[in-house]
């Protein structure tokens, strides 16, 4: 089983738990943007947007760079590779369980058909 850094996953999922932060990531997926442009786009104060950007930076999802008076935000590095792998592992677990359940149901159906309908 692949080992994941629990603190990193916690930070990522906490960052992703907010709709505004997910929206910021989607917007930055198309192009980098200044903090003020993001604040305008989300009809939010500059202070509020800076807090959201800070959470995304702590989670390692976004980087910022200040050039003069403008702070530009962009997506960082590998993105959500570890998080996607963790989710995929859970998906495989659930699919295996559902496959096992399907096999049991099919087995019960075959037994019922071979025994004929029960008459009480």
Q: How many domains does the chain have?
A: 2
At 48-89, the pLDDT tens digits run: 999 999 999 999 999 999 999 999 999 997 778 888 888 888
The DSSP code sequence of 2-36 is ----HHHHHHHHHHHTSHHHHHHHHHHHH--EEHH
**Domain limits at 107?**
80-120
70 shares its domain with 86? no
According to DSSP, residue 3 is labeled -
Q: Please check whether residue 62 is in contact with residue 79, taking contact to mean a CB–CB distance below 8 angstroms.
A: no
Question: Does 34 map to a domain?
Answer: yes
Query: Counting beta carbons within 10 angstroms of the beta carbon of residue 115, is it exposed (0 to 12), middle (13 to 18) or buried (19 or more)?
Result: exposed
pTM, rounded to two decimals: 0.73
């Amino acid at each position: 089983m692949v080992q994941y850094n629990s603190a990193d996953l916690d930070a990522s999922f906490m960052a992703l738990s907010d709709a505004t932060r997910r929206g910021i990531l989607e917007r930055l997926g198309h192009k980098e943007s200044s903090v003020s442009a993001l604040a305008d786009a989300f009809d939010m104060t500059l202070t509020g947007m800076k807090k959201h950007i800070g959470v995304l930076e702590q989670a390692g999802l976004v980087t910022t760079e200040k050039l003069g008076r403008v702070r530009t935000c962009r997506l960082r590095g590998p993105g959500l590779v570890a998080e996607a792998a963790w989710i995929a592992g859970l998906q495989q677990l659930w699919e295996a369980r559902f496959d096992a359940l399907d096999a049991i149901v099919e087995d019960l159906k075959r037994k019922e058909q071979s025994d004929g309908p029960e008459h009480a």
